[in-house]
Amino acid sequence: MGALHEGHLSLVRQAAAENSDVFVSIYVNPTQFGINEDLDSYPKTWDADMEMLADVDNKLASTAGSGRISAVFAPTTKTMYPTLPPSSEIPGKGSFVLITPLGNVLEGASRPVFFRGVATVCMKLFNIVKPDRVYFGQKDVQQTVVIRRMVEDFHLDTEVKIGATRREPDGLALSSRNVYLGSRRRRVSTVLSQALKAAELQFVNGKRSRGDILWPANDVALSKALQQDELPAAMRARFEVDYISLADPDTLEEVDEVDETKGAILSGAIKMQPLEELQEGEDCGLGGDSMPVRLIDNIILKPSA
Amino acid sequence: MGALHEGHLSLVRQAAAENSDVFVSIYVNPTQFGINEDLDSYPKTWDADMEMLADVDNKLASTAGSGRISAVFAPTTKTMYPTLPPSSEIPGKGSFVLITPLGNVLEGASRPVFFRGVATVCMKLFNIVKPDRVYFGQKDVQQTVVIRRMVEDFHLDTEVKIGATRREPDGLALSSRNVYLGSRRRRVSTVLSQALKAAELQFVNGKRSRGDILWPANDVALSKALQQDELPAAMRARFEVDYISLADPDTLEEVDEVDETKGAILSGAIKMQPLEELQEGEDCGLGGDSMPVRLIDNIILKPSA
């Protein structure tokens, strides 16, 4: 969807290391945005994206044995939705791929058209480009599970590869939406990765039950929320936890106990609230920190070998 | 779906005339049957189907320049639905292709899961076989429109070819379901093609408005229904008209006036009722004429050149 960052670029590099020709698709897909979501305000940064890709491609050119970026595929909406205008409604008119119930839980619970739109547009992209391999970032973990399922159920002749989540030094997962975070919200936003890290530590230390794994994550989130509540409005950045989940890696159903042979997906979503009161000269994000920003993150709890 | 008849074979011959390798898929797809529909009783005639195909293929072998049947693809349900069991429910769990609103009108109005199942299984078949061309019979006209739309909207790299409806000498369209019609119901079943023929004649004679085109069709159906009503129970074969439609060829929306540049699809569905009283030694269909049989037919009103 453009607004490229190092996470996207790392996928391009991974693809170039494993393939001769890399196609980069840049398309802000309207059907995955709900009617009240941020399609219009989604950052569109075409020139900066092209510069970043040209820079990556130049470095690939001097890397022995590496593939290159062969094309940037940036279709029009008339190409992607040739017969009916793209609908964000439910049920909505059009041709759609539905992956249920995978697409209805977690992110899909609060964004009911999201995975319908993602699966639909990816099916089209795959059919147009016919890639040997497709690369998705681990950060959107539910998307990776939905795409894997679509590839299996529809016998799509491609291999799904997942690139690790890229993070800021303090742990915040890279996201195109991070540009909306001014420094105050940015500081508090690390609560999500810290909460997931606390839960992961429990798993690493041998804990397997839901309660044992998740309590420290909920504790980190609650402590940070209370800390913000106690600060004056001009200093705090409030947030709400949408969910902290411990789910089966194939079905995304919540689990009470992690199955050693399957592992689990630890994931979470928070909504950073708009700042209530700005300080004089404060370093604000794009949009002046006046809009809520939803952030997601996850950690894979790996099965034992 | 097997239960092959001359209509299917004519598609095989057409495919062999236009391609070197013909794949015949035979799969009774559970997701296109509603919960109360006839999946279990759908005629399954594997041995007879294979004999008919072998016979066709032998003749193709001695036809200069003709392709051959390279494979019969008869997958298991675990192949077609590898992750979740095939669901006939709405909304239903699984991975589906939805083509709306095309799939909701006409046949889809009385069979709400039908075109979801058809589109889903065809997408899978296309992805597995990767055919240059796919062949469908004109008789299932809404299916042809839905598949064409799916191919266009999802950029599937295949060409949709339609073979003409094959008919009995008295006009009845060939259908796997015709085996359920004993001779009494069989005689009355021609009402559908006759009704459509009467409407077509109006179009051929220059009529373009819905009323002018459809009234003779409705008249044929009503006269035949009254005629049957007046016969004694041991002699009559009652039927109900589900719909007689005059629709846009791309959107399947009912039209008030036929657009000369687009033409229209004239289609209908009737339900032959079970016989009320059998005669001694009467020639019955499979199942003893005790189950209703739904029949469909259509005629394309061609655009002016």
Please name each of the domains of chain B with its CATH number. Answer: 6-163 (3.40.50.620), 178-301 (3.30.1300.10)
User: Of B92, B124, B155, which has the smallest distance from its Cβ to A127's Cβ?
Assistant: B155
Q: Is the pLDDT of residue A302 over 80?
A: yes
- The pLDDT value recorded for residue B83 is 97
- How many CB atoms lie under 10 A from the CB of residue B229? 9
- The pLDDT value recorded for residue B35 is 84
Q: What is the pLDDT of residues A13-71, one digit of tens each?
A: 999 999 999 999 999 999 999 888 878 877 779 999 999 999 999 999 999 999 999 99
- The pLDDT value recorded for residue B21 is 98
- The pLDDT value recorded for residue A41 is 78
Residue A123, chain B, CB below 8 Å: the answer is yes
User: Of A93, A124, A153, which has the smallest distance from its Cβ to B154's Cβ?
Assistant: A124
Q: What is the pLDDT of residues B169-212, one digit of tens each?
A: 999 999 999 999 999 999 999 999 999 999 999 999 999 999 99
- The pLDDT value recorded for residue A63 is 95
CB spacing of B100 vs A82 below 8 angstroms: no
- The pLDDT value recorded for residue A40 is 81
3-state secondary structure of B204: helix
Residue B150, chain A, CB below 8 Å: the answer is yes
- The pLDDT value recorded for residue A138 is 98
Q: Which of B25, B154, B158, B253 to mutate to test the interface with A (most CBs of A within 10 A)?
A: B154
CB spacing of A95 vs B130 below 8 angstroms: no
Strand B264-272, strand B239-247: pairing:
antiparallel
Among chain B residues, CA nearest to A123: B154
Residue pairs spanning A and B at CB distance below 8 A: 70
- The pLDDT value recorded for residue B10 is 98
- The pLDDT value recorded for residue A38 is 74
Q: What is the pLDDT of residues A134-186, one digit of tens each?
A: 999 999 999 999 999 999 999 999 999 999 999 999 999 999 999 999 999 99
- The pLDDT value recorded for residue B47 is 95
Q: Is the pLDDT of residue B89 over 90?
A: yes
- The pLDDT value recorded for residue A94 is 98
- How many CB atoms lie under 10 A from the CB of residue A47? 8
- The pLDDT value recorded for residue A100 is 97
% of chain B surpassing 90 pLDDT:
94
> A124: closest CA among A166, A96, A148, A98?
A96
Residue B112, chain A, CB below 8 Å: the answer is no
Q: Is the pLDDT of residue A277 over 90?
A: yes
User: Of A93, A127, A149, which has the smallest distance from its Cβ to B95's Cβ?
Assistant: A149
Q: Is the pLDDT of residue B305 over 80?
A: no
Catalytic residue annotation of A: 8
> B140: closest CA among B270, B272, B267?
B267
d(CA A170, CA A193) in angstroms, rounded, equals: 9
Q: Which residues of B touch A152 (CB under 8 A)?
A: 82-83
Q: What is the pLDDT of residues A249-268, one digit of tens each?
A: 999 999 999 999 999 999 99
- What are the structure tokens assigned to B291, written together? 């189950």
Q: Is the pLDDT of residue B38 over 80?
A: no
- How many CB atoms lie under 10 A from the CB of residue B271? 14
CB spacing of B91 vs A100 below 8 angstroms: yes
- The pLDDT value recorded for residue A21 is 98
Which of A239-243, A301-305, B50-54, B221-225 is predicted least confidently? A301-305
Q: Which residues of A touch B82 (CB under 8 A)?
A: 152-153
Residue A232, chain B, CB below 8 Å: the answer is no
pLDDT-based confidence at residue B36 (cuts at 50, 70, 90): confident
- The pLDDT value recorded for residue A180 is 95
Q: What is the pLDDT of residues A81-115, one digit of tens each?
A: 999 999 999 889 999 999 999 999 999 998 999 99
- The pLDDT value recorded for residue B42 is 79
Among chain B residues, CA nearest to A91: B100
* Catalytic option among B2, B3, B4, B8: B8
Q: Kindly report the average pLDDT of chain B as a whole number.
A: 96
Among chain A residues, CA nearest to B128: A155
User: Of A91, A98, A152, which has the smallest distance from its Cβ to B96's Cβ?
Assistant: A98
User: Of A101, A152, A155, which has the smallest distance from its Cβ to B128's Cβ?
Assistant: A155
Residue B149, chain A, CB below 8 Å: the answer is yes
CB spacing of A156 vs B94 below 8 angstroms: no
Residue A90, chain B, CB below 8 Å: the answer is no
d(CA B56, CA B50) in angstroms, rounded, equals: 10
> B25: closest CA among B6, B7, B43, B49?
B49
Residue A143 φ then ψ, to 5°:
-60, -40
B114 close to B34: Cβ distance less than 8 angstroms: yes
Q: Would you state the torsion angle of the CA atoms of residues B59, B63, B67, B70, taken in this order, to the nearest 10 degrees?
A: 30
- The pLDDT value recorded for residue A154 is 98
